[in-house]
Amino acid sequence: MNGGGQSPYDTKKPRQRRGRGRGGGVRGAKRELSGYSSTGVGDCYGLNQMESDREREESRDWSSPRASDFDKGYFQSYAHVGIHEEMIKDHVRTETYRKAIMSHRSSIAGKVVVDVGSGTGILSIFCAFAGAKRVYAVEASEMAVHAQEIVKANNLSGKVIVLHGRVEDVSINEKVDVIVSEWMGYMLLYESMLGSVITARNRWLKPGGLILPSHATLYMAPVTNSPRYCESIDFWRNVYGIDMSSIMPLARQCAFEEPSVETITGENVLTWPSVIKHVNCHTITIEELVSVTAKYKFSSMMRAPFHGFAFWFDVEFNGIKPYPANDQTQQSHEGSSVSKKRLKSDELVVLSTAPEDAPTHWQQTLVYFYEPIEVQQDQIIEGLVTLSQSKENARFLNIQLEYSSGGHSFVKQSILR
């Protein structure tokens, strides 16, 4: 987890990354999924208990909507091996999940697990290594075919059962003790995959069961980033001795209209962050994810140009226990500033995407203004942020920022797609 040196994730542009989102997500779905059919257990590989067509139809949860064309493209993008390579090579991500699963070995050994969005099956295999009795690896993309081969190659066919289909459609004829999933998108909520975890919880999890990760927190903070602005905008003032400044308004529009996924450092952050949303995976509902609104109020720690807001998140693998009583981060109300880092604990496993922590493929999500605002030390920055699922595609995220500072008020609207 060494954060020294140049990060492989250090980029100034949105990453065309993965289907399930993290920027490539839906954006990475280049091809239409032809002949797509999500029929649950009927698409499983290597299973002895194959159901008949009639039984599958009877067992299907018809209250769940069928996959839309957007969903089909989303799942298809996850069939590309490069997406999974990038995720697995994210050492912070993969090692934290492995550590979390092994640290909960006593709750996993001899138990039944479901892995939501299992991809190559790596987390399912970690659970098998932790002693799980049986693991259902649910994967909607064609990567399920390859996951089955990986399971077979590791002599785990009797323990890890690959189900090819959506969580909303596949059948599991028993309750499970544990749910594991790497569901987080950019800004935590992008791609709406948390909804699938909620569906799995409501369908199969036993009372008192374990969900990994158990909690998540989304943060935001005002930032300064003059090099980024100069790179994209001021560049046009003098191009090989040619004045191209007339193109600067268009350059601002193109560079900053949409959110940017990039790596910043703690030096870019003007204030302590504010909590936008706490998520308790044991209690959150799908309805809560449709729209999230929080007020915020910051006091700038320095005099600097204020270029926009950064968003990041962390997740905890804390079982069903409540947030630690001595953890000020989790005690903070949504919309309140966080003035202390989480206290370290040998028992608390946390995956953080904060600017001051080791970089991950999630990086941070930046919403830049078209024009920076000069702020003084101790100047107040306050307003309202609303994150809502796009009506165009629920996996997209609408961002509305209302902010005031120095006697002026502004609104910035953007879509993370």
Which residues are part of the catalytic machinery? Answer: 182, 191
The distance of Cα 88 from the centroid of its chain, to the nearest Å, equals 15
Structure tokens at 382: 């306050």
In angstroms, the Cα distances linking 203 to 117, 122, 179, 224 are: 15, 23, 11, 45
Element (H, E) at 59: helix 53-59
CB atoms within 10 A of CB 113: 29
Cβ density class 266-294: b for 16+ within 10 Å, e for less: eebbbbbbbbbbbbbbbebeeeebeebeb
**Length of the chain as a residue count:** 417
Q: Reduced to 3 states, what is the DSSP secondary structure of residue 114?
A: strand
The distance of Cα 338 from the centroid of its chain, to the nearest Å, equals 21
What is the C-alpha separation between 165 and 145, in angstroms, rounded?
11
Output the furthest CA–CA distance in the chain (Å, rounded).
73
In angstroms, the Cα distances linking 318 to 33, 256, 330, 331, 392 are: 37, 37, 12, 15, 35
CA angle 10, 11, 14 (to 5 degrees): 130
Structure tokens at 16: 């065309």
